[in-house]
Structure 1
């Protein structure tokens, strides 16, 4: 620290007066529109002038100044608290400025977020963005590259006009007033509603996608404004009228409602029937109320219990026709028929995709709680994390017209399900949640700095409580934990962030591999057959050679091959055949790897068949289906004849088959296996020898005639009962009366 003071001493002596004047001339130091904190006196706002710290940059000094104003403490007291409460690792000279800035910022955010309307405060949004700017340049060494602490106050209405439809024009904003991914992922998760430590990198990618991977304040401001609108809409959802209609449990909160606008209905399909109505998602279930304006009693589809639920996208249409890919299917073990929720729209299926994502997020959150056997408070915290993720997803979707896809989802449990090694993220999250203690134990742990870092607070539930979405009577809000906000520790990396980084290392490889899969997909049955034949050529060629030897067209080669294989079987070398083949393949792979040395693989050259029109393709498909049907029929006939032999439909054939099975069983019991293998090889390989060909064909003909004389076991097809009630548990099929008579 002394070195840093000496480096910036000369510059600070020249600019110290100007910095104090500029700091005193700031129009706002985040005073919450003039409102005082609890316990503030009338003269509490008349604080002495803030003296800038010489080891901090000007933007960092500005942030620390406003943090002191919020906390109503002197800078000396705040620095003393930082030096005494935190461990020595975060107070090293190289990281002292940044970690002190984090300490002040996190404490200020903890106080700021106690107000239910902090998202609507322009100064809060400005302060949090300045914290990100200051985090990138916390020390005086980066003074020249730091953004000025003077901030232009944007017009309240101009932001929505300038960014009402697109974020493409964001690149025209002054590029010095931007933040990078690292600073955003460090500060944003300190406020639980703003970002989640698991999905913060995806959120930054969405917000900064059109501005060169640098986040502008206007984009960030628009995101928080949209988030505020979402919170207000959720508060309206949880009004007494809707809650009373659904008969929600005490811990249930409404997350989303759709189908209230006549031009955007929601249709529920069950069987061939369809009803319009209102669809509601809570943190425990889906509710559908049929009707328009006046709704019937809601039908509940559980997402919390272990009912083997299936939630997936599905095709639907009138009278059960599968025409439109705009529906979500829900199926559970408590239902006989699945329910399809259709979201009609003219273009695309964004409504369906949105509802599918949020329903799966709640479903995965409950599965996570059951899998890791979380207790009630821990389960509530995991569910609150999923709820906050849905709010963020909706805010981004409405502000920037962004939909979730692949690994860019903003929903933490959906992300863990789709990421490679996502189970490691869930295991880390469960271990973190299990560190949550009772209120008394938690207060006891706050006594030592080392123990304080192991305290996990229900930050998601606290955030929902402060926003007025859930009741605060069961949420223990602790104001003493000043070194921890959200999932972020001062000067430390959250284990969840490490788990996410480890999983994301494999994303690039997975996406690159999937891109190659999409490139090599070809259309047409005949074209795919040609490609498959070319790929299987290394296997087809040896099989053709073996078949040529078995045909005895070249007797000397066949005799040599038979003698060699017979000798290998007698000496029990045959057991080394498969291991040797695997070793040869491994050697070839290593040799290819060293020879190629990163060179691109040459494409497989395939002679494409003549192009065919749609009618010809349909005819080929019909022929392929017919051949498949014939194969299935042949398989069924074999199984039915075996059934007839087992149940002695033809006693003479059954006797012979049973005797043959006894002989085979005795052979396996008393004859060495190598002699059985040798006998089977010689019998099959020599069947086409000139000396045995006639007798082999005669014996094969007798076996075929014997098999033809075996009758197939009878099969009775039963017509479905059209009068069967869907809700009853009667058999689906019934016997025909003429057979009963």
Structure 2
């Protein structure tokens, strides 16, 4: 216990800023004491296993999550051993997943409520470290006592565990979020992780508190972002004129409130739910010139319905790029709902339990993605293309992105099939039609949730890739929910992994082509010069003859030519005539 206490005293020590000592100040004493109390927990499990000695991080992770599940680490071990084969049980990573996923599966909210708890934030970080290095070489190894601020979570651990916590990251974009948070480092530090989670919680709480009395219709919409700043205004260009104002983005539309010279306000609305909308980066300027590359154009194919919004940003173009990603994600969300979701008036929604909430689930996912993008913008950890950090926009152009979208649709709208219900008003019992009852052509999630065939409106369902994917969805791990599988992958994870693999292949192929093109140009030019050199020499000599640079050679050439033309002889040979 003393060794464990010393270890956690170090790893939970507040981070010191450059130039400061590591001694905690009075403001951090409370948080430090909370962390110390949380991790000072009795060890009930044996660290020695057939595969090696469990690291201290693994032991504390298992014990803590076991207590949160109402058990001890030793009891959790026994339960897990009884549920899975020996090969699965002997891998400490699987036990870490089971303890963590079992606790997370108890909550089905859009954002896990424990994310607001600083102790839980650090516990998740420790869990990722434990999953990455579950074993140690020596029980008394001093390397385990390294300070937490020197430890980094690698991509593999982050990709596996971070998406399991609702709200933290979407599985299709988890690799891109890792790159953004890690930056130039090989992994994510505890400071980056805590800053990201804390800012995300703040942004989501701020979105809930948004109230705009000027737009009463917003009571039925969810506000995502407001662009209004005296130092960084938003301009709407109309007829080569720029009007400053306040821009509000919701889950269904854009609102622009222009401010006139006399402070009069006129509100405009652009619906983002219709089909055919396009959002592009644009250049604007006075008199129709393309002087400033800081605008976004939103149109529906007609110039009359075209909005051009300029986002003033003296620090660069990232503000425009982020707003482009915001708007594009809302448009992509509704395109996804139209293509993969059932109509709101479809009565079959009542035949699948929870299907009526599918649209809200998809919308909430997009809202969380936009909130995360705002956090990364604030932390200055954006990628060159912010659309890679929001899943619906990213999947539009990702390899096999349509397969990932299919798994998302099954996840959002899928549920247990309702075989019938008793009406309390003495009406006949309602049962699904024969078409719905016939399950041969429906799609099923790993937990048995059904996605009806009549909802498969997208042409992508008929592709050979889609058929092959849905024929091979068997899971060998322990299923705790449709999103949490111990020792195996959920459907979304599997599809996202395939898409990522294809993306790497495309990247490597393109890099090979680019390298071959760039490296091959000099050698190709040299080869071409060698091939045309004899012809170049002939042309040069002919030009000398034509310009009488050497008269005697020119006279000789003309004489020879005259002789050949006018004194040609026909010689008869055995094989034919030769002129």
TM bracket (short chain) = 0.5 to 0.7
Find the counterpart in structure 1 of residue 554 from structure 2: none
What is the Cα deviation at residue 405 of structure 1? Answer: 1.8
Find the counterpart in structure 2 of residue 301 from structure 1: 270
* Per-residue deviation, residues 634-656 of structure 1 (Å, max 9, x unmatched): xxxxxxxxxxxxxxxxxxxxxxx
**Structure-1 separation of matches of 2:281 and 2:88:** 55
The equivalent position to 1:396 in structure 2, one of 357, 376, 379, is 376
Could you say which structure has the larger radius of gyration? 1
What is the Cα deviation at residue 440 of structure 1? Answer: 11
Conserved? CA contact 2:180–2:381, under 8 Å:
no
Tell whether 2:44 aligns with 1:51. yes
Tell whether 2:222 aligns with 1:253. yes
Tell whether 2:305 aligns with 1:326. no
Find the counterpart in structure 2 of residue 135 from structure 1: 131
Higher strand share: 2
Find the counterpart in structure 2 of residue 430 from structure 1: 409
Conserved? CA contact 1:436–1:455, under 8 Å:
yes
**Structure-1 separation of matches of 2:446 and 2:527:** 69
* 1:227 aligned counterpart, secondary structure: helix
* Structure 2 counterparts to residues 111-150 of structure 1, below 5 A: 118-139=114-135, 148=144
* 1:222 aligned counterpart, secondary structure: helix
Find the counterpart in structure 2 of residue 453 from structure 1: 447
Find the counterpart in structure 1 of residue 198 from structure 2: 225
**Structure-2 separation of matches of 1:500 and 1:315:** 35
Task: Report the CA distance shift for 1:429/1:331 in structure 2 as closer, same or farther (over 3 A).
Answer: same
Conserved? CA contact 2:415–2:448, under 8 Å:
no
* Structure 2 counterparts to residues 557-636 of structure 1, below 5 A: 603-605=523-525
What is the Cα deviation at residue 452 of structure 1? Answer: 7.8
* 1:230 aligned counterpart, secondary structure: helix
The equivalent position to 1:355 in structure 2, one of 315, 323, 329, is 323
**Structure-2 separation of matches of 1:334 and 1:439:** 45
* 2:60 aligned counterpart, secondary structure: helix
* Per-residue deviation, residues 174-206 of structure 1 (Å, max 9, x unmatched): 3xx222111111110111221211111111122
Find the counterpart in structure 2 of residue 340 from structure 1: 308
* 1:257 aligned counterpart, secondary structure: strand
**Structure-1 separation of matches of 2:66 and 2:145:** 16
* Structure 2 counterparts to residues 373-384 of structure 1, below 5 A: 373-374=341-342, 376-384=356-364
What is the Cα deviation at residue 283 of structure 1? Answer: 1.0
Find the counterpart in structure 2 of residue 505 from structure 1: 501
What is the Cα deviation at residue 257 of structure 1? Answer: 0.6
Conserved? CA contact 1:107–1:485, under 8 Å:
no
Task: Report the CA distance shift for 1:117/1:298 in structure 2 as closer, same or farther (over 3 A).
Answer: farther
* Per-residue deviation, residues 447-485 of structure 1 (Å, max 9, x unmatched): xxx99834599xxxxxxxxxxxxxxxxxxxxxxxx9647
Find the counterpart in structure 2 of residue 82 from structure 1: 80
Report how many aligned residue pairs link the two structures: 441
* Per-residue deviation, residues 483-527 of structure 1 (Å, max 9, x unmatched): 6478332221122222223223343454456557878999xxxxx
What is the Cα deviation at residue 439 of structure 1? Answer: 9.9
**Structure-1 separation of matches of 2:4 and 2:312:** 61
**Structure-2 separation of matches of 1:295 and 1:303:** 26
What is the Cα deviation at residue 210 of structure 1? Answer: 1.5
Find the counterpart in structure 2 of residue 586 from structure 1: none
**Structure-2 separation of matches of 1:342 and 1:201:** 31
Q: Which runs of 5+ in 1 are unaligned?
A: 1-16, 37-44, 153-172, 442-449, 458-481, 523-598, 609-741
Please give the root-mean-square deviation of Cα atoms over the aligned residues, in Å.
Answer: 4.3
**Structure-2 separation of matches of 1:72 and 1:33:** 24
**Structure-2 separation of matches of 1:518 and 1:24:** 50
Conserved? CA contact 1:289–1:296, under 8 Å:
yes
* 1:199 aligned counterpart, secondary structure: helix
Task: Report the CA distance shift for 1:48/1:316 in structure 2 as closer, same or farther (over 3 A).
Answer: closer
Tell whether 2:158 aligns with 1:184. yes
What is the Cα deviation at residue 20 of structure 1? Answer: 7.1
What is the Cα deviation at residue 374 of structure 1? Answer: 3.6
* 1:301 aligned counterpart, secondary structure: strand
* 2:119 aligned counterpart, secondary structure: helix
* Per-residue deviation, residues 435-454 of structure 1 (Å, max 9, x unmatched): 2348999xxxxxxxx99834
* 1:52 aligned counterpart, secondary structure: coil
* 1:298 aligned counterpart, secondary structure: strand
What is the Cα deviation at residue 402 of structure 1? Answer: 1.7
**Structure-2 separation of matches of 1:429 and 1:603:** 49
Q: What TM-score, normalized to structure 1?
A: 0.52
**Structure-2 separation of matches of 1:290 and 1:278:** 7
What is the Cα deviation at residue 70 of structure 1? Answer: 2.5
* Per-residue deviation, residues 305-334 of structure 1 (Å, max 9, x unmatched): 22x212111121234433212111111268
* Per-residue deviation, residues 148-199 of structure 1 (Å, max 9, x unmatched): 37866xxxxxxxxxxxxxxxxxxxx53xx22211111111011122121111
What is the Cα deviation at residue 342 of structure 1? Answer: 0.8
**Structure-1 separation of matches of 2:484 and 2:167:** 13
* 1:394 aligned counterpart, secondary structure: helix
What is the Cα deviation at residue 102 of structure 1? Answer: 1.0
What is the Cα deviation at residue 128 of structure 1? Answer: 0.5
Q: What TM-score, normalized to structure 2?
A: 0.65
What is the Cα deviation at residue 282 of structure 1? Answer: 0.8
Task: Report the CA distance shift for 1:74/1:94 in structure 2 as closer, same or farther (over 3 A).
Answer: closer
Q: Which runs of 5+ in 2 are unaligned?
A: 13-29, 344-355, 421-443, 452-477, 529-579
**Structure-2 separation of matches of 1:191 and 1:405:** 25
What is the Cα deviation at residue 605 of structure 1? Answer: 1.9
Find the counterpart in structure 2 of residue 488 from structure 1: 484
Task: Report the CA distance shift for 1:332/1:93 in structure 2 as closer, same or farther (over 3 A).
Answer: closer
Task: Report the CA distance shift for 1:49/1:124 in structure 2 as closer, same or farther (over 3 A).
Answer: closer
Tell whether 2:244 aligns with 1:276. yes
Task: Report the CA distance shift for 1:27/1:201 in structure 2 as closer, same or farther (over 3 A).
Answer: closer
* Structure 2 counterparts to residues 706-721 of structure 1, below 5 A: none
* 1:341 aligned counterpart, secondary structure: strand
Find the counterpart in structure 2 of residue 210 from structure 1: 184
Conserved? CA contact 1:186–1:488, under 8 Å:
no
Find the counterpart in structure 1 of residue 400 from structure 2: 421
Find the counterpart in structure 2 of residue 291 from structure 1: 259
Conserved? CA contact 2:41–2:64, under 8 Å:
no
Conserved? CA contact 1:103–1:483, under 8 Å:
no
Tell whether 2:76 aligns with 1:97. no
What is the Cα deviation at residue 108 of structure 1? Answer: 3.4
**Structure-2 separation of matches of 1:509 and 1:198:** 17
